[in-house]
Structure 1
Amino acid sequence: MPQVCRELLSSGLCEDASCPHIHNVPSCDICGLVFRTAQEYAAHNASKQHLKKARGESGAILFCTACEKNVAGTKNWVVHIASARHRACAKLKGLPADADPEEVDAIPGHTLCATCNTHVKDTLWGRHQSSAKHRARQRFVSFRTALDEAERDKNGVSVSDDFDFGIVEGPAAKSGITIHPVVKNTTPSSKISIVSITLASDKGSRTQSPFSVVYDPNRTIGYNTTYSFTVTLRQQYNGRAENRLEILFEDVQLRKRFIIARVLRVIIGNRRDHEQFQPHAPYKPRKRSARQPETNVVEGVLPPSLKAVPYVVPLPMAPIPANLASTLSTGSTTSIVANVRRLYLPFMLDSNTYARHFKHLLWIEEFRMERDLEHYDISSAKLTAHNYYYLLDVPGLAEKRPSVLVGDRILVQKHNSTSGHWFEGGVHFVRKEEVGLRFNASFRASPADRFNVRFKLSRYPLRRQHQALDTVYAEERVLFPLSVHVPTIPYPTQTSAQLKVFNPLIATNAPQLQAVVSIVKRPPGSVPFVIFGPPGTGKTVTMVEAILQVLAANPTGRILACAPSNSAADLIATRLKSLSTDELFRYYAPSRNREQVPLELLEYTYEKVDERGSSYRDNEHAEKRHFSVPPMARMKRFRVVVATCVSASVVSGIGIPRGHYTHIFCDEAGQASEPEAMIAIKTMADSKTNVILSGDPKQLGPIIRSAVARELGLETSYIERLMQREIYDEKKGYGTSVVKLIKNFRSHNAILKFPNERFYKGELQQCGDPKVINATTARRHPPSFFNIDEVSQVKEYVRKLRDDRRVRITDNDIGVIAPYHAQCLKIRASLRAVADGVKVGSVEEFQGQERRVIIISTVRSSREFVEYDLRHTLGFVANPRRFNVAVTRAQALLIVVGDPDVLSLDPLWRAFLNYVYLGGGWTGGDISWDPHTPVSEAGGYDAIARATAEQDMNAFTRRMEELTIAGVEAGEGDDTNVDRPWQDVE
């Protein structure tokens, strides 16, 4: 079979008149395909796929703002907006029922193939790229690109007229229709000669064409003159035809030849019939509006708390490089990752490239954080004047959505303003649902005024991480420890150490005691030591004991103790209260609200009084106090300083010399990104400093908002990366570089057994009180639309637990975990009259905590929920670390509310459900699979579910069930991170 001319495909033209290959390549612009033969092209034109696209029936995923759900394709969209439910939702929100949809940019677990313009499941990406469909699209894109270049006017020569004959009735086509294109030379003093005008069908394999061309050969066109030639269409039968006209020119003076091509098209047939298949108007889904640039920002008045700490080391600005921002702005996650690796990241990560690598990951994360903040933009907001301040109501502020701290900046501009003029307001105080702002004196706002509001990302935490990465400290033993860095002497034993423990429970726990001994006896300048602490094994208790023992053994020892969150840092400080206020200092950022600090820790803090003293609060004296640091002489005398990882930068920032602290401890290190953990280490460690990390890489890692940054490794914590190295093997490195704690004091064995076997090799030993539990229970309660029934079910469980006098459960004993924010709000509202003190939150909010009873609301019904729910919920249930954290928070009772038919699509959850069912903890409808059948770790249960799906399940839901399981959170859509919590890291 004749092949398409390679020269044509690569350059868009072929000057060889004797070329034997095909030159008139049939292509379909609607579907984006090229065809080797006219027969293939004709078959395609009759295909359902082509006809649907010709009718404007897009298969794109469309978002309905009224119903807050996705709809697959324009055909389904028409049906959707005609439904009674849609009209009711639109009326409730004050929206027109026929409002245009929004086009969904990303589908979680999928990658957009720009070539095919379709979303491909991540797990099928490799198969898709090698598929015949993808290769056909690649041929089209390559061909189309070459043609676009060939069709461009060039060298001052233009070819006018429309070469598309459109729809021509049969009789007219038989008679013939003629057009007269015009060639014009616009280059002064030049002469252009027409060498030839040919049709692609005239070359190579001869094919009959309805087009013919008549021209005057060797015609020369002077400056500003024109020449017209004739193209005729004549055909005896109906159908479609396409050809390419190639005009070969020569610049007489330069003796250089060039080609300008035009595509000839025609549809021959009944006009009325063809118009019936065409959409009446082009279908253009409404895109989410882009932010207008801030061209002029009037600086606001920032709170005095920003000057509460006497920093002597300036912070670098570290702005995102413009070229990197440009790379991050376009393309799919996969393509962006590939481009970042190729253009910006070092080929190898070592001590020399360490800073460059992580600085770029930080910039990538910042780029996404900025975009995520746009989700909280407010239009038509009201500002209320109160003394020196303007009060702004911020919906979701109490849940840190968005997170706003004292010292942050918020921009406002008059509503409906089209200019880039904004006023900056400094945040002076934060209440539950409002903030107090101060603007420049020129700012004015009347009660009738409405404003657009933008929240600006606080870059201080990011700048502190950049500052740490910029330091010259890059010791191999800390960043990339090897066996050569580990002494060959045996690790110290518990017997030889003869420690007098402060916590008597440590003495009876061999792994904990060994960890303490190994830390205390480590020579200066050792490799980092890891306390690997699975859930409920007492890793913080072990760390606190180690701190106290270091202080007792080394009179000159000084410790900087960090944790990623204030709650974790407070726990360390609280357990160190045996130290005096001259020995222990708990540092809080000046933005920290005094009411958020445990009363028992206030005496270990230092507060600075603001001399200016104007305040919104009635108690002005309290408002003028800001957390700070004492004078340098006193600061150096503290033997232990406790802070968050980010706030730990204060010690270097105020000028405490490197090496002042002999030990740097980091608790819950698995929750800190590596740059966060490095703030204390790279700014304060010297060649003798020992680093101790405590955490569990099997639980949740740091919260990283950017899918690109996650893919490039920012979600891998420092402790997790270290534990992937050979010297941190749990057995080979025992006592020298790592100790794994194995005694679980939290959960009953029935709860612990499954995660123990799945994540911890079955080594955990249950040591809790077995009297606190009757059973481990999983509940099946299929939720109704928008999960109202599930919210009610959770409330009913809480009510029964609170009313049962036999168990004496309080609100503080119960925790409810839900995968996304909207469900948490609904559950909280439902519990206000029943048990207002019950904590309801995401898995991330429960890490490091425990409750006697944990209720997990999985919030998923495959038959009633759309892709938005699926993205968030399966991201929750299919993530092994989330699963591990969720089920190991419970001490006595675990209740899972959800649809097991959906949960069972994931092998991990399927195995867990089998364990619950066979253990007698199953209630509700019967299990729909054989729980005795071994679970396939390869999965594939989604395919089985689709094969057995009932006929009435609509096509969209079936397709959505394909969104299991791997990579369901990889998308970078506008609201991808709407349920990813914001952390207060200072």
Structure 2
Amino acid sequence: MSLAELRAALEAELAATPEFYDFKVLHSEPEGALWRISLEPGYIFAEGQPPGLAAAQALLDDSLDGASAWWGAPQRGAASVLALLPEADQLLLQNASAPPPGAGHLIRLYPPRFLKPLAEAWWDAGWAPRAWDCLPDLAAPETVDEGLQLSGAPFRWLREGQRRALALPRHSSAFLWGPPGTGKTTTLGVMLAEYLEARPQARVLLLSSTNAAVDLATLAVDKALQKGRREALRPTVQRLGTHFNAAAYAGREHLIPSADAALLARLSRAEAARPAGRDAAALKAWADRVAELREALRAASLQVLRRSRLVSMTASRACFTLRSLRELAGPESADEPPFDLMVFDEASQLSLAQALVLMPLGRARLFAGDPQQLAPVLRSRERGAQRWLGRSAFGEMPRGAAAPSVVLLDEQSRMAAPIGELVSELFYEGTLRVAGDSAQRPDWLAARRRALGEVGAETHVQLQWMRSEGAWSATERGPLRRESAEAIAQAVAQALESDDWRAEELIVLTPFRAQRALIRHCLRRRGVALDGEGGGLRVSTVHRAQGSEAPVVFFDPADAAQPFLQTEAALRLLNVALSRAQAKVLVYLSRRDAEQPLLAPLVQRLRLAADAREALPLERLAAQPDFPANALGRRVMAGRHRGEIVRVSPDGRQFWLVNERSGATQLFDTAFWRAKAGQKP
């Protein structure tokens, strides 16, 4: 490993990252000074990439925050993206220089080049070595604040794991591993509220992967300060950036610095008014104006940073404003970290390269997230890019259950026990369990025991078998399966018609945008109002679902034979899909889907969970002369493993067991078990 290798990885990713995306417009309509643009879900063209799977995987998400829009027909124009509505495939544009195009025309988006400031930091001769030197600390952190004692006293409801997590800021690098429903964000809020009081002079930088995640974490801190009766500290918390959910800050407006927001709005208007390239004088004046506003914004942000105890922003913005963040230390302390504590929330979605380049800003660093959920988005296939940009800091954390700098939250209060056990066995080696306080609450249990049509109240995981297979659609540029789309639309419509369920209690998930668009179309035909279109039903790609939850999840893989669904990333995606559910999860599968490596363990585990046969000791069967043929098809106990023998090799030297806890297929050696049973080979 070397700094040169990391820089090469950044170059490879920059080369693989499109500079623009072309979308096809379905409809454009003015809304006051804004324009609402509805996009065709299946049409995405990424610059430099052929149409196909890679283009279909491009997402309308936070990576396009602050993007510039351009169109060439029917009238040339430009605008800036004010907001994205991914669930409705819509954009809100502001400062349009001409009416945006209508149906059938293309609109081009130029996303901010988030990688450029990251690359510039790694080529900074003074900064890069400091960032590189942080790498060993992830695996072997030191204690930097021995006297810090956070008791969590005002919050008596904290669970054991959450209380242990309060000691993490004592370490130079620490990891809060929060599987689904374990209260990671709440834990962070309590921890940071306690930290601000315990260390009156300390400064905290709170970062996250997306604007939505920054909002959740910032609000969690403010709520913890409020509940802990630390009102004097609440104005010292500030959320930087303008791409926040304004409705979420109702009654908490003190968290948003208004001067920063006003300057960003002026900069956005100025950037959207770029003159034609042939008018050199106008272009120079425009560039000077933009540079002036950028410098004013930097100065305003610096003032906010200096007067605040805790500031929050996206990690991408931290890279863009790295110069300002570094200046907080002052010229006389240029080599000292400007922050006492840095928190990377949803850190499993931040690349190792991004985390490292920001780590010198903090004296202590805390990474909160779940490495078993979505990983950083990566485009390059280069091995170096996978190493530095496709992995997070969690890949470097200390190993071993006794590591004091790692806390795993192992009690969840979201999923009904059968769903939680499924998620625990498939993704967390059986460590995740229902929190004791939740399991004893009648209201919690009742909310998870509700019938959904023919799916009874006590059934929490249901496989819905489809006769047809999914297939790639060249027209829609993605995998489609109409049968499952229609089945989901019918089940949702019937649930809503029964008045037993509300639209906001249901969520439909699929890995592919093309299938999502088809499901939305089927639902509209049945009169179901969708989220973003005046209704409450969410139909989302799984990538957009992390951080959300609902009583019922409908999951449609559409076509599990797709190469994308054969990857490690797809395994994390399945975890996200299943773990959104509180009461029920319905999975729509064909027979071919059920044979794919991603979904076979799920299917096998559910099958074996219903197996009431006695589990025979494998040693007893191994003592018989016809072993292992006599074990085929039987339910057995093999040491700490329990499951069904499903296959024997032709020569009888090996056999395979499907583990009923994990659903995984395990290979066993015949000679070993014969010897264990006292038989000669």
The verdict on how the C-alpha distance between 1:548 and 1:800 changes in structure 2, with shifts beyond 3 A counting, is same
Counterpart of 2:194 in 1: which secondary structure? Answer: helix
Question: Aligned partners of 1:835 and 1:667: how far apart in 2?
Answer: 33
The verdict on how the C-alpha distance between 1:581 and 1:456 changes in structure 2, with shifts beyond 3 A counting, is same
Question: Aligned partners of 1:552 and 1:614: how far apart in 2?
Answer: 37
1:670 aligns with 2:348: yes
Tell me which amino acid in the other structure corresponds to 2:257: Y
Match of 2:369 in 1: 695
Match of 2:258 in 1: 607
The verdict on how the C-alpha distance between 1:360 and 1:614 changes in structure 2, with shifts beyond 3 A counting, is closer
Q: Per-residue deviation at 1:358?
A: 3.1
1:540 aligns with 2:185: yes
- Check the 8 A contact 1:529/1:691 in 2, yes or no: yes
Match of 1:464 in 2: 117
Q: Per-residue deviation at 1:897?
A: 0.7
Question: Aligned partners of 1:904 and 1:447: how far apart in 2?
Answer: 45
Q: Per-residue deviation at 1:566?
A: 1.1
- Check the 8 A contact 1:699/1:885 in 2, yes or no: yes
Match of 1:913 among 595, 603, 614: 603
**CA offsets 1:503-530 (integer angstroms, 9 cap, x no match):** 3221xx22211110242xx2xxx43011
Counterpart of 1:879 in 2: which secondary structure? Answer: helix
Match of 1:358 in 2: 6
The verdict on how the C-alpha distance between 1:606 and 1:643 changes in structure 2, with shifts beyond 3 A counting, is same
1:408 aligns with 2:408: no
Q: Per-residue deviation at 1:895?
A: 0.7
Match of 1:21 in 2: none
Counterpart of 2:382 in 1: which secondary structure? Answer: helix
Match of 2:594 in 1: 903
Counterpart of 2:130 in 1: which secondary structure? Answer: coil
The verdict on how the C-alpha distance between 1:529 and 1:384 changes in structure 2, with shifts beyond 3 A counting, is closer
Match of 2:544 in 1: 845
- Check the 8 A contact 2:552/2:581 in 1, yes or no: yes
Question: Aligned partners of 1:793 and 1:566: how far apart in 2?
Answer: 34
**CA offsets 1:452-473 (integer angstroms, 9 cap, x no match):** 76443421x2222124323245
Tell me which amino acid in the other structure corresponds to 2:67: D
The verdict on how the C-alpha distance between 1:813 and 1:719 changes in structure 2, with shifts beyond 3 A counting, is farther
Q: Per-residue deviation at 1:599?
A: 3.0
- Check the 8 A contact 2:350/2:375 in 1, yes or no: yes
Question: Aligned partners of 1:857 and 1:646: how far apart in 2?
Answer: 32
Question: Aligned partners of 1:499 and 1:690: how far apart in 2?
Answer: 19
1:799 aligns with 2:485: no
Match of 2:328 in 1: 656
Question: Aligned partners of 1:930 and 1:860: how far apart in 2?
Answer: 32
Match of 1:779 among 464, 469, 493: 464
- Check the 8 A contact 1:730/1:739 in 2, yes or no: no
Match of 2:240 among 580, 587, 597: 587
Match of 2:506 in 1: 814
Residues 473-622 of structure 1: matches in 2 within 5 Å?
474=130, 478-481=134-137, 486=142, 497=149, 499-506=151-158, 509-519=159-169, 522=170, 526-577=171-222, 578=226, 580-589=233-242, 592=243, 598-608=249-259, 609=262
**CA offsets 1:468-487 (integer angstroms, 9 cap, x no match):** 32324526773112887546
Match of 2:15 among 357, 367, 374: 367
TM-score, with length taken from structure 1: 0.47
Q: Per-residue deviation at 1:801?
A: 3.3
The structure in which a higher percent of residues are helix is 2
Question: Aligned partners of 2:101 and 2:318: how far apart in 1?
Answer: 43
Counterpart of 1:702 in 2: which secondary structure? Answer: coil
Tell me which amino acid in the other structure corresponds to 2:393: I
Q: Which stretch shifts more, 779-788 or 424-433?
A: 424-433
The verdict on how the C-alpha distance between 1:813 and 1:484 changes in structure 2, with shifts beyond 3 A counting, is closer
Question: Aligned partners of 1:759 and 1:383: how far apart in 2?
Answer: 44
Question: Aligned partners of 1:403 and 1:483: how far apart in 2?
Answer: 30
Q: Per-residue deviation at 1:664?
A: 0.2
- Check the 8 A contact 1:784/1:790 in 2, yes or no: no
Q: Per-residue deviation at 1:794?
A: 0.8
Counterpart of 1:895 in 2: which secondary structure? Answer: strand
Q: Per-residue deviation at 1:904?
A: 1.9
Tell me which amino acid in the other structure corresponds to 2:606: V
- Check the 8 A contact 1:814/1:851 in 2, yes or no: yes
Question: Aligned partners of 2:34 and 2:160: how far apart in 1?
Answer: 58
Match of 1:830 in 2: 522
Counterpart of 1:370 in 2: which secondary structure? Answer: coil
Q: Per-residue deviation at 1:834?
A: 2.8
Match of 1:894 in 2: 585
Tell me which amino acid in the other structure corresponds to 1:846: A
Question: Aligned partners of 1:571 and 1:859: how far apart in 2?
Answer: 31
Q: Percent identity?
A: 19
Counterpart of 1:789 in 2: which secondary structure? Answer: helix
Q: Per-residue deviation at 1:887?
A: 1.5
TM-score, with length taken from structure 2: 0.66
Instruction: Supply the RMSD in Å over aligned alpha carbons.
Output: 4.5
Residues 63-102 of structure 1: matches in 2 within 5 Å?
none
Bigger-Rg structure (1/2): 1
- Check the 8 A contact 2:495/2:501 in 1, yes or no: yes
The verdict on how the C-alpha distance between 1:875 and 1:817 changes in structure 2, with shifts beyond 3 A counting, is farther
Runs of at least 5 residues in structure 1 that lack an aligned partner in the other structure: 1-347, 416-421, 617-623, 862-868, 922-928, 939-986
Question: Aligned partners of 2:36 and 2:151: how far apart in 1?
Answer: 57
Counterpart of 2:367 in 1: which secondary structure? Answer: strand
Tell me which amino acid in the other structure corresponds to 2:547: G
Tell me which amino acid in the other structure corresponds to 1:672: L
Tell me which amino acid in the other structure corresponds to 1:586: R
Question: Aligned partners of 2:647 and 2:344: how far apart in 1?
Answer: 38
Residues 305-320 of structure 1: matches in 2 within 5 Å?
none
Question: Aligned partners of 1:627 and 1:447: how far apart in 2?
Answer: 32
Question: Aligned partners of 2:72 and 2:130: how far apart in 1?
Answer: 46
Question: Aligned partners of 1:709 and 1:387: how far apart in 2?
Answer: 49
1:884 aligns with 2:575: yes
Question: Aligned partners of 1:536 and 1:739: how far apart in 2?
Answer: 15
The verdict on how the C-alpha distance between 1:632 and 1:457 changes in structure 2, with shifts beyond 3 A counting, is closer
Question: Aligned partners of 2:387 and 2:187: how far apart in 1?
Answer: 29
1:425 aligns with 2:78: yes
Question: Aligned partners of 1:511 and 1:798: how far apart in 2?
Answer: 37
Runs of at least 5 residues in structure 2 that lack an aligned partner in the other structure: 45-57, 85-89, 271-292, 330-335, 439-443, 450-457, 471-479, 531-535, 612-632, 636-642, 650-681
Question: Aligned partners of 2:100 and 2:511: how far apart in 1?
Answer: 41
- Check the 8 A contact 2:73/2:101 in 1, yes or no: no
Residues 48-447 of structure 1: matches in 2 within 5 Å?
348-349=1-2, 353=3, 356-370=4-18, 373-374=20-21, 376=22, 395-396=40-41, 401=60, 408-413=67-72, 425-427=78-80, 429=82, 432-433=90-91, 435-436=93-94
Q: Per-residue deviation at 1:857?
A: 0.7
**CA offsets 1:268-319 (integer angstroms, 9 cap, x no match):** xxxxxxxxxxxxxxxxxxxxxxxxxxxxxxxxxxxxxxxxxxxxxxxxxxxx
- Check the 8 A contact 1:855/1:896 in 2, yes or no: yes
Match of 1:646 in 2: 316
**CA offsets 1:166-220 (integer angstroms, 9 cap, x no match):** xxxxxxxxxxxxxxxxxxxxxxxxxxxxxxxxxxxxxxxxxxxxxxxxxxxxxxx
- Check the 8 A contact 2:150/2:166 in 1, yes or no: no
Match of 1:196 in 2: none
Question: Aligned partners of 1:483 and 1:812: how far apart in 2?
Answer: 42
Question: Aligned partners of 2:496 and 2:349: how far apart in 1?
Answer: 33
Q: Which stretch shifts more, 575-584 or 592-601?
A: 592-601
Q: Per-residue deviation at 1:710?
A: 7.8
Q: Per-residue deviation at 1:851?
A: 1.6
Tell me which amino acid in the other structure corresponds to 1:695: G
Counterpart of 1:894 in 2: which secondary structure? Answer: strand
Tell me which amino acid in the other structure corresponds to 2:155: N
Match of 1:760 in 2: 428
